[in-house]
Amino acid sequence: MAKLPKKRKIKEKRKGKKVSIIGSGHVGLVTGACLAELGNRVICVDNNVEKIATLNRGEMPIYELGLEELVKRNVRARRLFFTTSIKEGVDNSEIIFIAVNTPPKPDGGADLCYVEAVSREVAKTMESYKIIVEKSTVPVETGKWISRTVKLNNKKNINFDIVSNPEFLREGSAVYDFMHPDRIVLGVQSKKAEKIMRELYQPLNAPIIVTDIESAEIIKHASNSFLAMKISYINSIANICEKVGADINKVAHAIGCDRRIGSDFLYAGVGFGGACLPKDLQAFVGITQKLGYDFDLLKVVEKINHEQREFLVNKVRDAVWNIKDKTIGILGLAFKPNTDDMRNAPSIEIIQMLQREEAKIKAYDPVAIPAARGILKEVTYCKDSYDTANGCDALVILTEWEEFKRLDLKKIKKLMRAPIIIDGRNIFEPEKMKRLGFIYRSIGRST
Ligand SMILES: NC(=O)c1ccc[n+]([C@@H]2O[C@H](COP(=O)([O-])OP(=O)(O)OC[C@H]3O[C@@H](n4cnc5c(N)ncnc54)[C@H](O)[C@@H]3O)[C@@H](O)[C@H]2O)c1
């Protein structure tokens, strides 16, 4: 770790806080870099030695729009530091964010082992008052468990507060989202913690909603499952549109113009993926079940999401006849544009379904190929979209990267063995594709 500045040497325009972030992944690194940018002194901690070494070399372990610049600027300004030592983070900060991963267990519930391990470690090293902030997405009542764990493991009986501060950033626009939140939720148990956390977030000038800890924990799961529900809802409407020759894009636009509904998350496609929605939905179903409530509505949301992948493969089959031995080009692997995150990406399930039917897969993504290599085997990774299209029996669009919208479609058509495009993200206009001579299939629109 680069040396921390001595206390008296820190000069900041606004009196920043001393913060450490434990878990320097998508959320932790963005949170750390953004809080440093706001004038706080931040130590990002991670037990992944390679990740911290990468960061200390000035390289980035993940791709996220604008993050590299932010990290470099704040490292240069000596406001942002990286270490593998939780003790170093705890000793040098008053506010400690827990931003470790909370992956799904086989039964769908959130695995809170990392949260527990960090809570224990923080408790063991705490020498003065700390605010321990739950930033990871966790089931309701986790705050109580963290509190209990800290009390059990802090032999010196040091005073502390737990705050639940769920994160709503979207990968791909994470830095922007962190800096321009619709609201900041603070689940608190003391006025002292509320005051300190309000001061921390004050430069963002965003609405702050203060609740009890349990409400804050439920807000995060309820928000994510609502968004998932919106996606599955519009995908169901898309399937009806397709049957009657209606156009889902026009339907979704008109629905979204109603301010009570809103247009975000109303895009029909191959369903949601990523590190959050699928996992959080499953976890919420699991928690509610434990609490004695059968959340059937959310179970159907999951089912619809899975079916969207199958529908896409059916469209490929309908267009190419037999999938066996066909060369299928995949454009887009990341679960959404502007990120290299492959966690629960629809591309994984879809490519594996095509491979089970013995398709030969070529694929391209502007940034996610290195991440995809570890997950998707027997795939020919290509240098660009044209290289992918070359010799293909069909092209399948799975991520709506801007560069795909600007493709030279005449060139693509010449390169392909057959002019078939299955557009899982509705990035092209059916009429135009027809004029260009493509067999074009999309979601919820007739061709
Ligand atoms: N990714 C998102 O878009 C997003 C958005 C909102 C909330 N969340 C939630 O935030 C949490 C973190 O998600 P993420 O996407 O940043 O995960 P991530 O896997 O990208 O990062 C988690 C990091 O925690 C580190 N870690 C695990 N155990 C540790 C330990 N004991 N000590 C130190 N470091 C440890 C891992 O090495 C990893 O680098 C999850 O609960 C997730 O659900 C994620």
Please provide the DSSP assignment of 122-165 as one string: HHHH--S-EEEEE-S---TTHHHHHHHHHHHH-TT---EEEEE-
* Alpha helix segments (H runs only) across 209-276: 213-244, 248-256
What's the pLDDT score for residue 15?
83
Phi, psi at 161, each rounded to 5°: -130, 145
Give the distance (Å) from ligand 1 centre to CA of residue 269. Answer: 27
pLDDT per residue over 362-419, tens digit each? 999 999 999 999 999 999 999 999 999 999 999 999 999 999 999 999 999 999 999 9
> Among the options 34, 44, 241, 276, which is catalytic?
276
Q: Residue 51 phi/psi, 5° resolution?
A: -60, -45
Atom of ligand 1 minimally distant from the CA of 171: 3
Tokens of residue 74, six digits: 């704040």
Query: Is-contact 19 95, C-beta < 8 A?
Result: yes
Average pLDDT over residues 426-446: 96
**pLDDT (average), residues 205-211:** 98
**Percentage of the chain surpassing pLDDT 70?**
97
pLDDT grade for 107, boundaries at 50, 70 and 90: confident
Measured N-to-C along each axis, helices 248-256 and 213-244 cross at an angle, to the nearest 10 degrees, of: 140
Residue type, position 80, single letter: L
Instruction: Inform me whether the pLDDT recorded for 1 exceeds 50.
Output: no
Q: Spell out which residues line ligand 1, taking CB within 6 angstroms.
A: 22-28, 45-48, 51, 99-102, 114, 117-118, 136-137, 167, 169, 171, 275-276
Nearest CA to ligand 1 atom 30: 47
Q: Tell me, what amino acid is at 109? A: G
pLDDT score for 221: 96
CA of 392 to the centre of ligand 1 (A): 38
Average pLDDT, the chain: 95
CB atoms within 10 A of CB 222: 14
Is 276 a known active-site residue?
Answer: yes
Nearest to 286 by CA among 299, 271, 301: 299
pLDDT value of position 291? 92
Task: Mention every residue, 6+ apart, whose C-beta is less than 8 A from residue 138.
Answer: 102, 110, 112, 115, 164, 217
Q: How far is the CA of 56 from the centre of ligand 1 (A)?
A: 19
Determine the pLDDT at residue 446.
Answer: 81
Terminal Cα-to-Cα distance of the chain (whole angstroms): 57
Q: Which residue's CA is the nearest one to ligand 1's atom 32?
A: 47
What pLDDT does 7 receive?
A: 41
Q: Please tell me the residue having the least CA distance from ligand 1 atom 35.
A: 23
Average pLDDT of the segment spanning 139-167: 96
Provide the pLDDT confidence category of residue 13 given band limits of 50, 70 and 90.
low
Distance 114 CA to ligand 1 centre (A): 9
232-267 pLDDT, tens per residue? 999 999 999 999 999 999 999 999 999 999 999 999
